[in-house]
């Protein structure tokens, strides 16, 4: 699933509601991290099937999902009342892709609305007058309608009914990778992914819950996909310990906006840990096309023994003189610095970003550091585009 247009963020609040939201945003913003846990608790009490079969329980337990929701609401509301605030179009695109990868439909936005506003009233009480409620109701539906329309485009791009993204697939291969990661190959009636996209794999856990987690597709066509994953969390551990070759699981049609942009610009791939997975998907695509685009790939890991996709990377770049790959191992004292001596044996690495399409994937701290380093590069070393993926709710990225 992929849209050729971005989410439409042009709609604005009525003048009356804009004034109310601007006045009350500091209060609601200050309490949003109290509101969101109550919202999820209330919604799951009213709709236990959502906690059991849709939302990732690990993200709920560690609070990541609550923080992501709080940040997205605050960012979107700020954009509506502050003409100098950045347009959260990239945030909305990421959310939209996550939603379609879980089969979210228009009807579920009403459920979220009702339980979210109940939580707001519970926390703020009499401060939520009918006028304040109406203003924030408009904020919610502007954001919701923007996402609903974008997600409809994504579903339509795949030619499927909205929400109809789950497919039953058979595990046809399973291998161990360095560092304790695993590789799983699945086969079924799928769709050819764009390079860099992911799928949600669904498994039924011993307590009967259908839990989902998203994994990048490192190689695939319309019938066979290979994913690689760290064995962390309920779904990954179940895939490792309880799913064998020949078993059936669920997979959703491919989604994700971290995709290789066609064209002739140089490509720079930067990843850490299991964040290498979408990069390997892109490298495999470039290899299949016999691309002559100049590609620079830096991957950061603890050491060679934990570099899960080292062999996959080497296979993808073999015999392609246009790709430069440099592994950077922390335990060897190496660091990736995007200007001057990067610690990986090269110099002036930042110049390799000039006018390039840059793709980032890794943990939160790693991505924060890379984004800060890119922002600090001189104007004549800035990339043309920067795209990124994070394997958890990404509240910090949307601020």
**Residue 197 · residue 215 · CB < 8 Å:** no
CB 359 within 8 A of CB 295: no
Tell which residue, 216, 367, 231, 192, has the closest CA to residue 278. Answer: 216
Q: How many helical (H) and strand (E) elements, i.e. helices and strands, does the chain have?
A: 11, 11
Which residue bears the tokens 């309608």? 145
Helices 64-81, 130-157: axis angle to 10 degrees equals 110
151 is catalytic: yes
Q: Is 109 a catalytic residue?
A: yes
Please enumerate in sequence order all residues whose Cβ is within 8 A of that of 299, keeping only pairs 6 or more positions apart, or say none: 269, 270, 271, 272, 276, 279, 307, 313, 325, 326, 327, 328
Alpha-carbon gap, residue 53 to 92, rounded angstroms:
23
Around 165, how many Cα atoms within 13 Å sit in the side-chain half-sphere? Answer: 31
Residue 202: partners with Cβ closer than 8 Å, 6 or more residues away: 166, 210, 211, 212, 249, 250, 251, 252
Degrees to nearest 5, angle at CA 393 with 364 and 125: 125
Other beta carbons within 10 Å of 130: 7
Contact 225, 217 (CB under 8 A): yes
CA dihedral over 126, 127, 131, 133, signed as positive or negative: negative
Q: How far is CA 293 from CA 137, 312, 331, 346, in A?
A: 48, 20, 32, 20
Task: Spot the catalytic one: 40, 109, 215, 388.
Answer: 109
Q: Give the orientation angle of helix 15-46 with respect to helix 106-124, to 10 degrees.
A: 100
Find the catalytic residue in 138, 151, 183, 389.
151
Q: What CA–CA distance (Å, rounded) separates 150 from 144?
A: 10
> Catalytic site residues?
109, 151
């Amino acid at each position: 699933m992929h849209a050729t247009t971005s989410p439409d963020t042009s709609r604005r609040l009525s003048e009356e509601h804009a004034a109310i939201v601007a006045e009350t945003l500091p209060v609601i913003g200050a309490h949003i991290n109290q509101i969101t846990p109550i919202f999820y608790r209330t919604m799951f009490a009213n709709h236990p099937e959502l906690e059991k079969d849709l939302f990732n329980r690990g993200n709920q337990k560690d609070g990541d999902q609550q923080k992501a929701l709080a940040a997205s609401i605050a960012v979107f509301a700020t954009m509506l009342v502050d003409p100098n605030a950045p347009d959260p179009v990239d945030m909305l695109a990421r959310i939209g892709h996550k939603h379609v990868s879980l089969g979210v439909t228009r009807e579920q936005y009403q459920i979220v609305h009702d339980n979210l506003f109940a939580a707001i009233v519970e926390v703020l009480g009499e401060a939520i007058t009918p006028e304040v409620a109406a203003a924030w109701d408009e904020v919610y539906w502007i954001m919701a309608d923007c996402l609903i329309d974008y997600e409809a485009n994504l579903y339509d791009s795949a030619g499927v009914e909205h929400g109809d993204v789950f497919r039953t697939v058979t595990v046809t291969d399973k291998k161990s990778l360095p560092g304790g990661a695993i590789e799983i190959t699945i086969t079924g009636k799928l769709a050819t992914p764009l390079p860099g996209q992911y799928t949600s794999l669904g498994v039924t856990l011993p307590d009967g819950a259908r839990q989902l987690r998203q994994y990048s597709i490192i190689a695939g066509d319309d019938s066979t996909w290979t994913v690689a994953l760290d064995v962390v969390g309920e779904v990954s551990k179940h895939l490792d310990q309880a799913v064998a070759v020949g078993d059936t699981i669920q997979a959703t049609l491919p989604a994700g906006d971290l995709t290789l942009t066609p064209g002739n610009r140089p490509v720079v791939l930067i990843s850490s840990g299991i964040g290498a997975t979408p990069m390997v998907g892109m490298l495999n695509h470039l290899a299949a096309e016999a691309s002559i685009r100049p590609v620079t790939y830096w991957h950061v890991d603890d050491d060679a023994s934990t570099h899960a996709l080292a062999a996959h990377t080497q296979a993808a770049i073999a015999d392609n003189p246009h790709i430069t790959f440099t592994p950077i191992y922390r335990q060897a004292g190496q660091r990736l610095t995007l200007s001057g001596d990067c610690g990986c044996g090269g110099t002036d690495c930042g110049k390799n970003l000039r006018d390039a399409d840059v793709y980032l994937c890794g943990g939160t701290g790693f991505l924060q550091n890379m984004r800060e380093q890119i922002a600090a590069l001189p104007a004549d070393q800035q990339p043309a585009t920067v795209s990124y993926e994070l394997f958890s709710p990404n509240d910090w990225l949307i601020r």
